[in-house]
Amino acid sequence: MERERLWRALREGAQNAVRTILVLAKVMVPATLLVTFLELSGLLPQLAKRFAPAMALLGLPGEAAIALVAGNLSSMYAGVGAMAALELTVKQRLILAAMLMLSHSLPQEGAIVLQAGGRALQVVGVRILTALATGIVLNMFF
């Protein structure tokens, strides 16, 4: 590959990385702060108790519900930020990662689907169900 193209690739790649990290930081830092605050103030443990029975099906602690809610309603990066503030085992991280990757940013991404003429509700419904099923299956067999 000529030097010019290699140089272009280096520049583009680095720019993309900076852009991604900035987007990530903008969402992740506030999400991590919020979850840390909720944890330290004792609100999250209380909230977690309510979610614990449902989350047990997914092999996740009740606290992880906040990562799922943030990831699905806001952006996946918010879910990642919440995850960074929680103490989780590798298995729990994998389950949460799978669920967050399969289903996230539903309002924004649903709008894109709608714009492109797809059935947004159906797509969103399938994503939520796939994420739940994947979490349950991973919890049982992993």
| Interface residues toward another protein, by CB under 8 A | 1, 5-6, 8-10, 12-14, 16-17, 20-21, 24-25, 28-29, 32-33, 35-37, 40-41, 76, 80-81, 83-85, 90, 93-94, 97-98, 101-103, 108-109, 112-113, 115-119, 122-124, 126-127, 130, 133-134, 138
Q: Do residues 70 and 82 touch, judged by C-beta distance below 8 A? A: yes
**Shortest Å distance, C-beta 45 to another protein:** 14
- Residue closer to another protein, measured from CB, 64 or 127: 127
What DSSP string runs through the chain? --HHHHHHHHHHHHHHHHHHHHHHHHHHHHHHHHHHHHHHTTHHHHHHHHHHHHHHTTT--GGGHHHHHHHHHS-HHHHHHHHHHS---HHHHHHHHHHHHHS--HHHHHHHHHHTTS-HHHHHHHHHHHHHHHHHHHHHH-
- Residue closer to another protein, measured from CB, 36 or 52: 36
**Shortest Å distance, C-beta 137 to another protein:** 8
**Shortest Å distance, C-beta 53 to another protein:** 24
**Shortest Å distance, C-beta 27 to another protein:** 10
- Residue closer to another protein, measured from CB, 64 or 85: 85
